Each structure stands twice: as structure tokens, then as C-alpha cells.
Amino acid sequence: MILAYLRRGLTAGLLAGLLAGLFAYLFAEPSLDRAIELENATHTEERAVFSRGEQKVGLILATALYGTSIGALFGLLSAFFRRRIPTRSEWRRSMILAGAVFLGAVLLPFLKYPPNPPGVGADPATLTGRTLAYLAMVALSLLAVLAAWRFARGLEGASPPVRDLTSGGILVGLWTFLYLAMPHFGVVAGHAPADLIWDFRLSALGTQAVLWAAIGCAFGLLGERANRRGAL
């Protein structure tokens, strides 16, 4: 069974990576081009190892490889939670799990530490601290989502609205604590206009949203197909 879930995850991840790469090419690359132009205008331009055209082609390959690896992990995670998420629908289980991972690993850390385009950021001396803080935020946000889910499972006798609202309130409380407790690294520095910064941030978030939505959909559809064929 684990191998079937792993193969399904690899397939779903490859497809999701290609779709995310296409989204990034269409929506993230224009803002990245603008940011690079501004950075070159204010700094001494250095010869890039790869041209922007080569980088854009490599973007699709990189997201495909990233999606495949993430899909493999998602397949293993789905196999682990197969008996723990109370639903018979592979589609619903896949969408719930993909949504939970996106919430904990992407959206909640984004709200605390949104990405910045090239040439924009806090003091370079804080790079190591910012990287470690971001990784810690990802891990702790995932734990917060897991804690809220575990609490919801303990309210089996409660009505769905009570269970969902209570677990949601716990998640909000835990994440608010994390938001306030994690270090802040100061005001963003740089010469990029605010609209460029937010175009870049939202396109980066959108790329991740496409990736996880596609993984959830593709994995769920493959699971429903396998059930119809009696593969499980």
C-alpha cells in the first residue's frame, strides 16, 4: 500500500510542480524582472552565471523536481494518515491533508516572514538569524496545526460546528502566540516600490497555493481512480 501511495504522490507532485512552474513563469517572473532591473540600477552590475532566459527555463525544471520530491513526501504522509482522517473519500482526505500542510508550512509562516524580491530585505548581517527563524516558524506552525487537529479528534462527541470552531480557535491562539513570540527583524530596506514588493510576495504565495492545490487534487483523483479499480 505504501508503494502505491508513493507512486501516486510522485505523479501528483510532478504534475503540480509543472503547474506551479507555469504559474510562477506567468505571474512571478515579471515582478522578479522588475526587481532585478531596480537592483542593477542601484548596484554595480555583475555578470550572471546564467542569463534570465536560462533561469526562466530552469524555473520549470526546478519546480517540477521540487514538486516531485514534495509529492513523494505527501504520498508517505497520506499513507500514515489514511486511517486517522475519518473519511472514506480519497479525494476529501487528500484535500484536507494538502490544505493542512499548506496552512502550516506556507501560509502561517508567510504572514510572519513574507519573502522579498532581490535587493530588498533586512540587514544582511541578520541573514542566518532570519533563515533559522523562518525554518522554526514552519516547524512550529505545522505543530500548531497538528495540535489543533488532535484536539478536534478528542471532541468526537461534539457537533461538527462546535468541533471545528473550537479547533480553529485553538489554532488561531497558538499561531498568535507564535507570531508575537518569534523575533522581528526590522523594517524592510531597499528602493523597490511597495507595489512591486507585494506583487512579488503574492505571486510567491500563489505559486505555493497552486502547488499544494494541484497536489491535493491530483492525488485525490488518483486515489478515487484506484478505489474504483480495486487497487487498494
Is the per-residue pLDDT at 76 higher than 90? Answer: yes
- What does the DSSP assignment read for 149-162? HHHHHTTTTS-HHH
pLDDT band per the 50, 70, 90 thresholds, residue 42: low
Q: Is residue 231 pLDDT above 60, yes or no?
A: no
pLDDT at 232 over 60: no
Q: Which of 203, 218, 4 is nearest to 97 (CA)?
A: 218
Which of 13-27, 54-68, 84-98 has the largest mean confidence? 13-27
pLDDT value for 188: 56
Q: Which of 69-83, 117-131, 151-165 has the lowest mean pLDDT?
A: 117-131
Burial class of residue 132 in the structure, from the number of CB atoms within 10 Å of its CB (0-12 exposed, 13-18 middle, 19+ buried): exposed
DSSP 229: T
**Best CA proximity match to 98, nearest among 20, 157, 4:** 20
| Alpha carbon separation from 164 to 2, 96, 104, 159, 170 (Å, rounded) | 30, 13, 17, 9, 10
Grid cell locating 62: 526546478
C-alpha cell at 19: 503547474
H or E stretch at 101: helix 90-102
Domain ranges within the chain, ordered by starting residue:
1-121+190-232, 123-187
Given a cut of 80, whether residue 125 has pLDDT beyond it is no
In this prediction, residue 196 carries a pLDDT of 85
> The whole model's pTM is what?
0.88
On average, the pLDDT of the chain sits at 86
Dihedral of the CA atoms 127, 129, 135, 137 (nearest 10)? -120
Please give the residue that has the higher pLDDT: either 165 or 193.
Answer: 165
pLDDT for the residue 47: 57
Q: Give 88's pLDDT tier (boundaries 50, 70, 90).
A: confident
Under the banding of pLDDT at 50, 70 and 90, the label for residue 105 is: very high
> Measured between alpha carbons, how far is 86 from 105 in angstroms, rounded to an integer?
23
